Structure 1
Amino acid sequence: MSIGALCAGPLLAEPAIGLWQTQPDRKNLISHIQVTRCGDKLCGIVLRAFDGSGKDVVTRNVGKTLFWDLESLGGGKYGNGTVYVPLLDVTAKASMELRGDQLRVTGCKGKICDGQTWTRVR
């Protein structure tokens, strides 16, 4: 086995990679976010959006990158990334914490932080 194969193992098994469902936002929309590897870090793209009844809706955010450059810090924690907050049209410092099938995503702008807990879809 090559050294590259040994090093790639933990990267391939990144537990936060997958499809996540957001909590309803202030407009009562729910999104599906695909978390993938972007180089050696994680990023998330808005795949779909739904209204309160679960009906697909088209928004300007579908297809957009929601966060990028998140690094695994170990123990289910991620940090040092950037998140785009569409409702406020701002970027903020991003962090995440994985607990089972729940992913707490937080954005901080200065000392003000806010976030959501997402649920794994797959």
Structure 2
Amino acid sequence: MKRTIIAAIVGIGFAGTAMAADPAVGVWKTQPDDGAYAHVKMTPCGGAICGTIQRTFNASGEYKSENIGKQLVIDMKPDGSGKYAGKVWRPSNNKIYIGKMTVAGNSLKLSGCVAGGLLCSKQDWQRVQ
């Protein structure tokens, strides 16, 4: 019994380490949208990746948006090859879209799509941390 508990604890530890090594985890700078951009913190959420707005900026510099703390990237599930599928929230129109994401090094490509993925709006993000 004791060995089973220890094995379970070790297994959970390795699963957490594997998810922490996900290439999407970190802080990313968005492209400007309606004159503003954000730093989004991507973290594990269950078996997926979620991104929360940490800081916001406009032409005047950093400002305190009402969107700080809100989730922008929602349940992006990895396929193991640097591609993800989930949902994306666009603050400028308060709509949630079918989301696709690709990570390669310090570059992240994010798209929000409608019509079953036929029409997409895309952004290129850069890693901050």
Is 1:45–1:64's contact at 8 Å kept on the other side of the alignment? yes
Structure 1 residue 86: deviation in Å? 1.1
Is there any run of 5+ residues in structure 1 with no aligned partner, and where? none
Give secondary structure in 2 for the equivalent of 1:10. Answer: helix
Tell me which residue corresponds to 2:63.
57
Tell me which residue corresponds to 1:69.
75
Structure 1 or 2: more helix by fraction? 2
Runs of 4+ with deviation above 6 angstroms:
none
Q: TM-score, normalised by structure 2?
A: 0.84
Write the distance in 2 (CA, Å) between the matches of 1:62 and 1:9: 28
> Quick check: which has more Rg, 1 or 2?
2
User: Identity of paired residues, percent?
Assistant: 34
Give secondary structure in 2 for the equivalent of 1:60. Answer: coil
Write the distance in 1 (CA, Å) between the matches of 2:90 and 2:44: 20
Equivalent residue pairs, number: 119
Is 2:23–2:105's contact at 8 Å kept on the other side of the alignment? no
Query: Which sits farther off after the overlay, 55-64 or 6-15?
Result: 6-15
Q: TM-score, normalised by structure 1?
A: 0.88
Query: Which sits farther off after the overlay, 60-69 or 29-38?
Result: 60-69
Confirm whether residue 86 of structure 1 aligns to residue 91 of structure 2. yes
Structure 1 residue 9: deviation in Å? 3.8
Give secondary structure in 1 for the equivalent of 2:79. Answer: strand
